[in-house]
Structure 1
Amino acid sequence: MGDDGFFNLPSDIILNIFSRLPAPTILNCKLVRKKWLSLISTPEFVNLHLSRSSQGLVVFQQESMRAQEDCRILEFEDDLDHNDLHYVPVIKFELSELLGIGRGATVQVGSINGLVCLRTFCHEYDALYVCYPITREYIAMPVLDWLVEFPSQVLYGFGLSRISGQYKVVRIFHECVLDPTTGALSSIPKSECHVYTLGTGSWRGIGGVPFAYNCRSVGQFFNGNLHWVIEDLEGSELISCFDVEKETFQPFSSPFPGERHSRTLHSLGVVAGSLCLCDNTSDSEIIIWVMKEYGVKESWSKEFVISKMPDFAGVSYEMVYVLKVFENGDILMSWDDFYLFFYRNKNKTLQQVEDPICSIQTMLHVPSFVSLKNFVAKEDVRMF
């Protein structure tokens, strides 16, 4: 078929073909013909492409000698014939100047259906944004009117309601009092939770918050709930679960309920459709627990035990986050906000993916061509 024949194909066939293409190719196709641009902007194409998009990464990184912060969208090549990590760059741009983000100030709250929630520390108060990196659309969320100072804690989560389909940002605040002798948390005289539903333009207070949260804990969205690793006032570790639809908190079982740890280096993630917990407390190994049956405490299983010898061994005070487990058992992880590293299942070794940089924030992401203007009527949608 010649070029003219392809141009004259029915719209539904063109949409079907385009929805199977990688995001960089689609971006180029938007520049070829006005008809293609119009088709790619339709809800039919956006929904079809999102349903077929492969999972990749959104990476915010800053090199040691640069003040700007780059955003990269990557798609994986799950190539089982090679031992190295393969990925395809989708798009790259500088975000710092566009959103007024200062040096090393970006913290990722979450990514759902191509929508990314970011938190920045460049203002007196937290600034939060929700954006689609592919379409370059974003909204700046209103700022809550108090300053958080140490030892008080504030943390966030980003989730999607199972029934209503609403996207919500959850903000947890603790006013903390430390023991003057030991430095341990002694009391929480005030705690509050606020929820921001995308499209409403305002925060809502939903009352107090149970448990003691740590600002290093990232809210992991899974199965309609947000999960955080937490502690009680005695230092025993738990998991908190927030139902995004009902907006209620409840305790959730952990692999080691009630245990106390001198270093709490446990992070939550998702492995092969199951909630997981990554433990970097040991000096010599990384342990990944997987909850085989969601909500059933007896189903926690020690699924991976990865040796850190010799290059990664030693006392650690950093979190390790599991990003993706490939079909051949290889695992992509991040070492706090310092670098990405890769576990080769075939020869049981760890390797660093890229050279160290000043800071890096990484999370799973599905590229999407959805427009914020389609469902946030009360928001001021801007372009960057």
Structure 2
Amino acid sequence: MAPGMEETLISPSPTLPFDLVAEILCRLPVKLLLQLRCLCKSFNSLISDPKFANKHLRLSTRRHRLMLMSTNDLGHLVLFNSLIPSDFSTSTVSYPDCLKIGKSGPYRVCSCNGILCFTMADGSAILWNPSIRTFKILPPLGMDKQLFLSLYSFGYNPSVNNYKIVAISGRFGKTKISVHTLGTDSWRTIQDFPYSRQLHRLGIFVSGTINWLVVDDGSSFFIVSLDLENESYKRLALPNLEDDCFTSLGVLRDCLCIITTGDVFLNVWIMKEYGNKESWTKLYSILHMQDRVIRLYTKALYIFEDEQLLIGFYELESYKLKLVVYNSKNGILKIPEIGNIRRCLQLDPEVYIESLISPCS
């Protein structure tokens, strides 16, 4: 044996520091991480850690998004594996039993950090993360169903790292707000909603707040915001508009967004600095499609890196929910073939972010 050979043969194999392994793993997609969790105890412990899940979420929001839509047949969601209009490949995820379509199936859905919040037709609420197949049935509100109808919104309070579900319930001019903090087992009633006429009773989460588009008794439109940290309300002004009608409230590029429609154009606005009226900016002014089909635009969903805009709309004539892609460079509107999906249970499309966040936390 040559001199030095013995030392070479018995030298231990090089290993990566565990901190570096964690840095590598938190950049991987959820599907692969779930497989790696079964590899060894140390991987399972790391990937199951809520701190790791939060770090993975911060990174995944920049690189991996899916879009979901309800189906009308076997009780599952269609997940669009890419938001790129030319590559609408799909996969499906079956609902857990508690979400099976039926008389008490899903009625509305919103999402936050990979968790979906379903308002059920029977007035209950269910949280579900389809990436990790984990769900939580929220405790009942305990209100008289003959007097109240409820819709649930869902958001994240970054100051204390917790999630809150906000239920807005009302009928006959009465509107109540209840809040459930994830990890607790009850609801709390907070100050009543300051206005009775919400145009969109499903609130929009952005910047630690839940937001509703409302109109007051004088027919003035504005936004009411609920701060999830101190649970107080604030009135936000809309941009200065002329004769446009409001269609929807949403989120684009992590900013509050509204769509307005006029006789000729569909306009898309974002509030670049949350709470600052002067920061409202018109991103797009889109010429309506000239085919005499009546459309109700439901939501601006996503802006691609090449400035194409994805919008959901409801075609009244065919009773179908569709998608349209607006190319801001040439002004062309295109309806992808995959967008021709029947509307079912009034569930609009949602931009969904894969995550390891558990609704049972």
Q: TM class, shorter-chain normalised?
A: 0.7 to 0.9
**Which amino acid in structure 1 is aligned with residue 323 of structure 2?**
L
CA distance in 2, matches of 1:298, 1:159: 25
Q: How many residues align?
A: 338
Instruction: Please point out which of 26, 33, 36 is paired with 1:19.
Output: 26
- Alignment partner, residue 3 of structure 2: none
User: Where do 4+ consecutive residues of structure 1 move more than 6 Å?
Assistant: none
- CA 1:6–1:287 in structure 2 vs 1: closer, same or farther (change >3 Å)? farther
Instruction: Please point out which of 145, 149, 157 is paired with 1:147.
Output: 145
- CA 1:276–1:371 in structure 2 vs 1: closer, same or farther (change >3 Å)? closer
Question: Does residue 1:368 correspond to 2:355, yes or no?
Answer: yes
**What are the ranges of 5 or more consecutive residues in structure 2 without an aligned counterpart?**
1-11, 315-319
CA distance in 1, matches of 2:86, 2:107: 24
Using the TM superposition, give the Cα deviation of residue 102 of structure 1 relative to its aligned residue in structure 2, in angstroms.
Answer: 1.9
> Tell me, what secondary structure is at the counterpart of 1:146?
coil
Question: Does residue 1:356 correspond to 2:341, yes or no?
Answer: yes
Using the TM superposition, give the Cα deviation of residue 252 of structure 1 relative to its aligned residue in structure 2, in angstroms.
Answer: 1.0
Using the TM superposition, give the Cα deviation of residue 59 of structure 1 relative to its aligned residue in structure 2, in angstroms.
Answer: 1.3
The aligned runs of 1:168-183 (5 Å cut-off) are 168-176=164-172
The aligned runs of 1:65-144 (5 Å cut-off) are 66=73, 68-74=74-80, 76=82, 84-86=85-87, 92-95=92-95, 97-102=97-102, 105-121=105-121, 123=122, 126-144=123-141
Question: Does residue 1:269 correspond to 2:250, yes or no?
Answer: yes
> Tell me, what secondary structure is at the counterpart of 1:369?
coil
Instruction: Please point out which of 205, 227, 238 is paired with 2:211.
Output: 227
Give the conservation status (yes or no) of the 8 Å contact 2:205–2:211. Answer: yes
**Which amino acid in structure 1 is aligned with residue 259 of structure 2?**
C
> Tell me, what secondary structure is at the counterpart of 1:327?
coil
**What are the ranges of 5 or more consecutive residues in structure 1 without an aligned counterpart?**
79-83, 177-187, 376-384
Give the conservation status (yes or no) of the 8 Å contact 1:196–1:204. Answer: yes
CA distance in 1, matches of 2:139, 2:177: 15
> Tell me, what secondary structure is at the counterpart of 2:342?
coil
> Tell me, what secondary structure is at the counterpart of 2:258?
strand
Give the conservation status (yes or no) of the 8 Å contact 1:159–1:221. Answer: yes
> Tell me, what secondary structure is at the counterpart of 2:238?
coil
The aligned runs of 1:140-289 (5 Å cut-off) are 140-144=137-141, 145-147=143-145, 154-176=150-172, 188=173, 190-214=174-198, 216-256=200-240, 265-279=246-260, 281-289=261-269
Using the TM superposition, give the Cα deviation of residue 325 of structure 1 relative to its aligned residue in structure 2, in angstroms.
Answer: 0.8
Using the TM superposition, give the Cα deviation of residue 314 of structure 1 relative to its aligned residue in structure 2, in angstroms.
Answer: 4.5
Instruction: Please point out which of 286, 299, 302 is paired with 1:321.
Output: 299
CA distance in 2, matches of 1:170, 1:237: 22
- CA 1:17–1:77 in structure 2 vs 1: closer, same or farther (change >3 Å)? farther
CA distance in 2, matches of 1:224, 1:39: 28
- CA 1:103–1:137 in structure 2 vs 1: closer, same or farther (change >3 Å)? same
- Alignment partner, residue 334 of structure 1: 312
TM-score, with length taken from structure 2: 0.81
Give the conservation status (yes or no) of the 8 Å contact 2:300–2:309. Answer: yes
Aligned-residue CA RMSD (Å): 3.1
Using the TM superposition, give the Cα deviation of residue 74 of structure 1 relative to its aligned residue in structure 2, in angstroms.
Answer: 4.3
> Tell me, what secondary structure is at the counterpart of 1:335?
strand
